[in-house]
Amino acid sequence: MVLCPVIGKLQHKRVVLASASPRRQEILSNAGLRFEVVPSRFKEKLHKASFATPYAYAVETAKQKALEVAGRMHQKDLRAPDVVIGADTIVAVGAMILEKPVDKQDAYRMLSRLNGKEHSVFTGVAIVHCCSKDGRLDTEVSEFYEETTVKFSELSEELLWEYINSGEPMDKAGGYGIQALGGMLVEYVHGDFLNVVGFPLNHFCKELARLYYPPRPADLRRVRHDSIPAVDTFENLSDSEAGGADPGQSAKGGRGGEQADGDRSQAPRALDAALNGADSRPRFPTGLLELMDGFKASKRGATLCPKSREVGLECWPRGRLWDPAALLAGQQVDGGPQDTSCLQGRPGLPMADHADQAGVCWGSWSKCHPPPPKVLFTACKLKLFDVLKDQGPLQAVDVARKLSTCAGRTEQLLDVCAALGLLEKTRRGYSNTEVATLHLVSDGEHSLQGVAEYNDAHVWGVFTRLGLAVREGAEQTRGALGAMEEERLSQSRELTLQFMRAKHSLSKLTAHHVATAFDLSRFASACDLGGCTGILARELAQEYPRLQVTVFDLPEVTELSGGFQCGGRQTERIRFVSGDFFKDSLPEADLYVLSRMLQDWPDDKLHKLLSRISSSCKPGGGLLVAEAAAEEEGASQSPRLRTLSAGQPRSPDEHRRLLQRHGFQDVRVARAGDLLCVVLGTRAAP
Ligand SMILES: O=c1[nH]cc([C@@H]2O[C@H](COP(=O)(O)OP(=O)(O)OP(=O)(O)O)[C@@H](O)[C@H]2O)c(=O)[nH]1
């Protein structure tokens, strides 16, 4: 029984449930947890409109409930409990949030809204770890939410009033109790039943497993792949498109990754992975990031052959990206006979007779194979991995029903995802592979959904429309991308948030490697330039207990960074300062940090930035630079970790020369985490 050891991790701790809900108490004590109950006095009055989603509201309320109890108990006893658990359950109908009804009329209004329809029940949960230091309370908060879909039958007025008069709705979110009489109102439930009742026990155990037995996921497995099913496009999977779909086509096209039940055990669920692992940091999902990023390589491929521009084709460099197995394994396949059979005999697909000479495979992938990154983005956008997370394995028709998409197209999408190693396909249906569970489910700790979202919404478009800049060479491309990036970022708050989410999730994977590539304990202060949400700052503060860290970023970024903070002991040594590192004075620091920044800028801006840092840095001070590593000395070709960056990686020598040119000596270069190149230079006396 997997739950016991997880719950057992709390056995010797003083655990407090900050809730008056008898249902929560029952669910947790049935699971074997020993705890005290201290109902929270936090008034559930947060301003709902200020939350982007209903679940953000539930999570924040849960957190405030738990923190109120932790603070009160600490004040009273001068000793806080070890762990305080808070929860908040709400019902959401579209953007509207329903809590507990205040009276019968209110209950009637709520139940009438739910009548005959589907709604979502969200429970936000906060697990607050407390400790007292020098008489002060210190807290670390882990938070999550769970969503369950509930559908009500068509109910008569008489039945509604009979139910209201039973008294049951009054202390229940949305005005019903699914575990009792309210169960009669419900046609179906998708998801965790206990989540509706008030506490998502399964997710809670997974969260404990994550906290106490951190995961060590297997990297992407190599998938055997015969061919990717052919489709026109995955852009639109709606039913209105169904006429264009050919359900038979996918069957003919071969279904990558298909396996008979029993051939291999199911992909381990997150909990199992968590329980089996020891290392808290997941291995770098190289293959997945290359998949998300692969289209940049293809766009650069277009520069290889002048003919491609004439005929307006997009070209994939030979061998690369056509083979998802190689792609996901992080390999680049160059040379060798190119299989162009996929293109032959397809009317309307021009074949260039100089293909061999140019070394590229001709053809418009959008008419032949779906571009793998676009498949991934589409699957993320549709929340395919979220649906399969709890409900998989599911057959294609069931997935289509849940996503409200066309069944035929959905099956094709699922098959391509299976071919790419993102899903497993067995007779029982499709389910997430480990890598999808870890990185593609939206609420996962190591989710890269933000990167997929940003690449899809923004970077894809930039690369698609930048034919001109691509033709003009790498420097100009970098400049044009940088300028467009800047312009767009300044235009849209949503885009800024998307960018921040993407950078935040990538930084989570790299920050530890950057912070530990060198011993930085000689520095008392550091300034992370373009530090965004402060993930690296947090890691630095955690690694070096006396280090004060400043995160310096544009005002629109620092303004939004609050939403990404999760508290913790290091926070008091981190401050956020707004400014533009090209214009404003840089905050004083012993060590300046540029993490995955330099690649974004054209040479003139890059030198301007480095010379500004050099002027601000005191002799003996340091500059730490982290960038995607080039594959080998001088090669500068690595497609790895380019995500969010426009330029090409530099070799260690190029980095060394760059820092020396700006007055840094003793430049040391380290490979970190396999994919990063981290460089540390010391400012020489002028
Ligand atoms: O089907 C059911 N749906 C909901 C419930 C109960 O509804 C309440 C939700 O309210 P809240 O999250 O604010 O929790 P409170 O009861 O106010 O307790 P706190 O002290 O934690 O704020 C919750 O009790 C659910 O159990 C239900 O029973 N069935």
Known catalytic residue: 88?
yes
Q: 390 CA to middle of ligand 1, Å?
A: 23
Whether the ω angle into residue 393 lies within 30 degrees of 0, i.e. cis, is yes
State whether 531 and 464 are in the same domain. no
What is the model's pTM?
A: 0.48
Q: What angle do CA 395, 396, 397 make, to 5 degrees?
A: 95
Mind listing the pLDDT tens digit for each residue in 614-626?
Answer: 999 999 999 999 9
pLDDT over 90 percentage in the chain: 38
Q: 175 CA to middle of ligand 1, Å?
A: 10
Ligand 1 atom nearest to CA at 23: 26
> Which residue minimizes the CA distance to atom 19 of ligand 1?
19
Residues 6 or more apart in contact with residue 44 via CB below 8 angstroms: 61, 88, 99
Are 70 and 139 within 8 A, CB to CB?
yes
Among 4-13, 24-33, 354-363, the minimum mean pLDDT is found in 354-363
So what's the pLDDT on residue 249? 28
So what's the pLDDT on residue 635? 39
State whether 136 and 190 are in the same domain. yes
> Which residue minimizes the CA distance to atom 13 of ligand 1?
88
Give the SS3 label for residue 130: strand
State whether 400 and 532 are in the same domain. no
State whether 522 and 650 are in the same domain. yes
Residue 641 included in any domain: yes
So what's the pLDDT on residue 278? 35
Among 12-26, 187-201, 234-248, 484-498, the minimum mean pLDDT is found in 234-248
Q: Is residue 460 pLDDT above 70, yes or no?
A: no
Q: Is residue 293 pLDDT above 80, yes or no?
A: no
So what's the pLDDT on residue 255? 26
Residue ranges in 312-354 assigned as alpha helix (H): 324-328
Residue 71 included in any domain: yes
Residues 6 or more apart in contact with residue 609 via CB below 8 angstroms: 529, 581, 582, 594, 597, 598, 601
> Which residue minimizes the CA distance to atom 15 of ligand 1?
21
Nearest by Cα to 301 from 324, 328, 319: 319
Q: 36 CA to middle of ligand 1, Å?
A: 18
Residue 299 included in any domain: no
Among 91-95, 117-121, 485-489, the minimum mean pLDDT is found in 485-489
Could you list the beta-strand ranges (E) of 358-452.
Answer: 360-361, 423-426, 429-432
The residue type at 186 = V
User: Any idea what the CATH number is for the domain that residue 625 is in?
Assistant: 3.40.50.150
Average pLDDT over residues 566-593: 86
The backbone region for 429, taken as left when phi is positive above 0, alpha when psi lies in -120 to 50, beta otherwise, is: left
Q: Which of 160, 187, 212 is the last residue of a domain?
A: 212
656: Cα separation from own chain's centroid: 33
What is the number of structural domains in the chain? 3
Q: How far is the C-alpha of 384 from the C-alpha of 403, rounded, in Å?
A: 7
State whether 564 and 437 are in the same domain. no
So what's the pLDDT on residue 479? 53
State whether 554 and 446 are in the same domain. no
From 40, 171, 179, give the residue whose CB has the most ligand 1 atoms within 8 Å, as the site to mutate: 171
511: Cα separation from own chain's centroid: 15
For residue 555, what are the domain limits?
494-683
The chain-wide mean pLDDT, for the chain, equals 74
Q: Rg (Cα) of the chain, in Å, rounded?
A: 27
Q: What angle do CA 268, 274, 279 make, to 5 degrees?
A: 125
Residue 198 included in any domain: yes
Q: 48 CA to middle of ligand 1, Å?
A: 18
Q: Is residue 358 pLDDT above 60, yes or no?
A: no
> Which residue minimizes the CA distance to atom 24 of ligand 1?
21
State whether 176 and 101 are in the same domain. yes
State whether 428 and 515 are in the same domain. no
Q: Is residue 589 pLDDT above 60, yes or no?
A: yes
Among 18-32, 351-365, 646-660, the minimum mean pLDDT is found in 351-365
State whether 147 and 39 are in the same domain. yes
569 compared with 511, residue with greater pLDDT: 511
State whether 511 and 448 are in the same domain. no
208 compared with 299, residue with greater pLDDT: 208
Is residue 260 exposed (0-12), middle (13-18) or buried (19+ Cβ within 10 Å)? exposed
Helices (H) and strands (E) in the chain, counts: 27, 18
State whether 605 and 652 are in the same domain. yes
From 23, 110, 119, 196, give the residue whose CB has the most ligand 1 atoms within 8 Å, as the site to mutate: 23
369 compared with 230, residue with greater pLDDT: 369
Q: 3 CA to middle of ligand 1, Å?
A: 24
Residue 371 neighbours by CB distance under 10 Å: 20
Mind listing the pLDDT tens digit for each residue in 18-75?
Answer: 999 999 999 999 998 999 999 999 998 899 988 889 999 999 999 999 999 999 999 8
Mind listing the pLDDT tens digit for each residue in 159-168?
Answer: 999 999 999 9
Q: List all residues whose CB is within 6 A of at least one atom of ligand 1.
A: 19-21, 23-24, 39-40, 44, 65, 87-89, 100, 171-173, 176-179, 182, 196-198
> Which residue minimizes the CA distance to atom 8 of ligand 1?
172
Tell me which DSSP letter residue 132 carries.
E
Are 384 and 403 within 8 A, CB to CB?
yes
Q: Is residue 442 pLDDT above 60, yes or no?
A: yes
Residue 513 included in any domain: yes
Q: 70 CA to middle of ligand 1, Å?
A: 20
Mind listing the pLDDT tens digit for each residue in 376-386?
Answer: 888 888 889 99
From 42, 64, 172, 179, give the residue whose CB has the most ligand 1 atoms within 8 Å, as the site to mutate: 172
> Which residue minimizes the CA distance to atom 6 of ligand 1?
172
Q: How far is the C-alpha of 32 from the C-alpha of 15, rounded, in Å?
A: 12
Residue 399 included in any domain: yes
So what's the pLDDT on residue 127? 96
Spell 113-146 as b/e; 16+ CB within 10 A means b: bbbeeebbbbbbbbbbbbeeeeeebbbbbbbbbb
Q: 529 CA to middle of ligand 1, Å?
A: 44
Write the secondary structure of 180-248 as one string of H (helix), E (strand) and C (coil): CHHHHHEEEEECCHHHHHCCCHHHHHHHHHHHHCCCCCCCCCCCCCCCCCCCCCCCCCCHHHHHHCCHH
Residue 352 included in any domain: no
User: Any idea what the CATH number is for the domain that residue 397 is in?
Assistant: 1.10.10.10
Are 464 and 299 within 8 A, CB to CB?
yes
Tell me which DSSP letter residue 517 carries.
S
State whether 43 and 192 are in the same domain. yes
Q: Is residue 641 pLDDT above 70, yes or no?
A: no
483 compared with 609, residue with greater pLDDT: 609
So what's the pLDDT on residue 96? 93
The confidence band for 355, taking pLDDT boundaries of 50, 70 and 90, is very low
Residue 302 included in any domain: no
Ligand 1 atom nearest to CA at 89: 12
| Strongest mean pLDDT among 227-231, 494-498, 534-538 | 534-538
Which candidate in 82, 88, 219, 528 is catalytic? 88
Q: How far is the C-alpha of 598 from the C-alpha of 625, rounded, in Å?
A: 8
357 compared with 500, residue with greater pLDDT: 500
Ligand 1 atom nearest to CA at 20: 20
The confidence band for 371, taking pLDDT boundaries of 50, 70 and 90, is low
